[in-house]
Amino acid sequence: MTTTVALSDRSTKTVRREDGPGTPGRDPQQLWLSHQQSQSQSQSESEAQPRARRGRRPAFSREAITTAAVALADAEGLEAVTMRRVAAQVGAGVMSLYSYAPDKDTLLELMVDHVSGELPSSAALTGDWRTDLKTIAHLQRANMLRHPWLPTALSTRRSLGPNTLAFLEHALTALRPTGLDGAAKLEVFAQLTAFVAGHVTHELTQAAAAGSPDRAAAEARYLATVAADGHHPELAEALSAPARPLTPEATFTRFLNRLIDGLGTD
């Protein structure tokens, strides 16, 4: 079902009431730059008017809507984030939300950039690009673990909002000592982010499965039996190697080290 709604710039646009991930959403320039310009203009007009003439402030804002959507996703997953649920959270009518987010895909854009604001974009860099990239990856992992829906939201192409751009600028600065050209730096950052998102997805899945110790024990017995059948010598050798720390943090660090230490600069 579609509906025509009024946007903040008084133009109209036909959108789907409950769009899923992958829908076009708003033009990035309209989504980010027009909103910033509108905020600045509103602030200037508000400061220029006497307090008595300002009237009652809106009951909600794009920030409030985004915060409510993030809270829903954190608690119940992306499936719980519908325009109706978000509207109920902020105490607004569903139709009034479409002036701020005309479809769910746009709302996801806002959510991703909102949580990207939790990533420090002005932290001091060591000048050792591998060390700095590892720090960046650990920050990304922590952010994705706080918001388990984020790896899924990042799996489709997203525009770069102001918070995302700030963190990207930080990562590109960390990569300056490599001497890579701009395109290669962007590729490295994309590769790193994809690795972290994929690892966190696997990590969360494993954590959910850990609630079944019987299954884990059965899998261990199965592998031991296969390794002893004489047909899988490489697997048998691998399984006989000394055990390594299996905490999520230790495992992530090992995988990350292999990835970044193996990156070249050509």
Q: For residue 22, is it left (φ>0), alpha (ψ between -120 and 50) or beta?
A: left
CA-to-CA separations, 41 to 29, 54, 108, in angstroms, rounded: 17, 14, 25
136 token code pair:
């960046």
- Give the containing element (helix H, strand E) for 5: strand 2-6
pTM given for the model: 0.78
What per-residue confidence (pLDDT) applies to 224? 87
DSSP string covering 86-125, please? HHHHHT--HHHHTTT-SSHHHHHHHHHHHHHTTS-SSPPP
- Tell me the average pLDDT across 240-258: 88
Residue 56 has what DSSP assignment?
Answer: P
The values of phi and psi at residue 2, to 5°, are: -120, 160
pLDDT of residue 39: 57
> If pLDDT is split at 50, 70 and 90, which confidence band does 213 have?
low
Cβ–Cβ < 8 Å for 5, 13: yes
Band of pLDDT at residue 245, cut at 50, 70 and 90: confident
At 35 the three-state DSSP class reads helix
Where is average pLDDT lowest: 56-70, 74-88, 223-237? 56-70
- Which range of 9-13, 97-101, 200-204, 214-218 scores highest in mean pLDDT? It is 200-204
Provide Rg for the chain, Cα atoms: 23
pLDDT above 70: residue 63: yes
- CB 180, CB 127: distance < 8 Å: no
Q: What is the mean pLDDT of residues 59-64?
A: 83
Mean of the pLDDT values across residues 12-36? 57
Q: Among 141, 134, 109, 136, which Cα is nearest to 122's?
A: 136
Cα separation, 88 vs 156, in Å, equals 27
Quick one: what percent of the chain has pLDDT higher than 70?
78
**Span of 13-17, 181-185, 248-252 with lowest mean pLDDT:** 13-17
pLDDT digits (tens, 9 = 90+) for 120-172: 988 899 999 999 999 999 999 999 999 999 999 998 877 899 999 999 999 99
Q: Of 27-31, 165-169, 191-195, 203-207, which gets the smallest average pLDDT?
A: 27-31
So what's the pLDDT on residue 38?
55
Could you report the per-residue pLDDT of 98-123, keeping only the tens digit for each? 888 888 899 999 999 999 999 998 88
Tokens of 50: 């006497």
Q: Share the mean pLDDT of the chain.
A: 82
Distance CA 62, CA 110 (A): 9
pLDDT, tens digit, for every residue of 219-242? Answer: 888 888 998 888 899 988 888 888
Does the pLDDT of residue 200 top 80, yes or no?
yes
Beta bridge partners of 5: 13
Contact 122, 96 (CB under 8 A): no
Residue 19 pLDDT greater than 50, yes or no:
no
253: tokens are 């660090």
Q: How confident is the model at residue 78 (pLDDT cuts 50, 70, 90)?
A: very high
